[in-house]
Amino acid sequence: MPAVTYVITCFAAGILVTRGCEDGFVKHRENCYHFSHDTETWINALTACRVIYNAQLVEIVDQAENAFLVNESTLRNTEYWIGADDLRVEGEWMWATSGDPVSNRTSGNRMLLSNNGNNENCLEILRSNWNDDQCDKSQHYICQKSVEIPVVVG
């Protein structure tokens, strides 16, 4: 079972217990991120996040989150699968877990969509950009889960 860090703060009305991220996850704002050490195809990365880590393949919601993830991938000098694809309808990029449409305004950078003969349908962070690539390519991936809400005990 993954180790979890707890911070306990005492105050007049009780004790506030704040849960941190599990071992192997990095905290940023309200989320915990796992930057995989192993490589998987896009669909296997989607499954690994859900089954192994009780998380989802990352869905980027704003420029601050994107900047954090791009910086981490740059520091690690690694390409990562993220949770978007256009497998259902060519050219219509959707987040796989939520089903929300992807907007390149979220990334604050450009999406490099070459598509390679309709054969690149899964999204990755490639250097400082989002890029479409072949879903059966095996590479690293980023899982995401929310930090649990603090509880008051006492």
Q: Kindly report, residue by residue over 62-84, the tens digit of the pLDDT.
A: 989 999 999 999 999 999 999 99
**3-state SS record for 13-28:** CEEEEEEEEECCCEEE
Q: Which residue has the tokens 């704002």?
A: 29
- For the segment 22-27, the average pLDDT, to the nearest whole number, is 95
**Which tokens hold the place of 142?**
């980023």
What CATH number does the domain containing 57 carry? Answer: 3.10.100.10
What phi and psi values does residue 46 have, to the nearest 5 degrees?
-60, -45
pLDDT at residue 91 greater than cutoff 80: yes
Instruction: Give me the half-sphere count of Cα atoms (radius 13 Å) on the Cβ side of residue 114.
Output: 6
What phi and psi values does residue 51 have, to the nearest 5 degrees?
-80, -45
Q: Structurally, how many domains does the chain consist of? A: 1
Q: Would you call 126 exposed, middle or buried from its count of C-beta atoms within 10 A (0-12, 13-18, 19+)? A: middle
Strands 140-146 and 56-57: antiparallel
Q: Report the distance separating Cα 68 and Cα 28, nearest Å.
A: 8
Provide the percentage of residues in the chain whose pLDDT is more than 90: 64
Range of the domain at 104: 4-153
Other beta carbons within 10 angstroms of residue 2's beta carbon come to 11
pLDDT 10s digits, 37-59: 999 999 999 999 999 999 999 99
Least confident of 48-52, 60-64, 90-94, 103-107: 103-107
Q: Report the distance separating Cα 153 and Cα 38, nearest Å.
A: 39
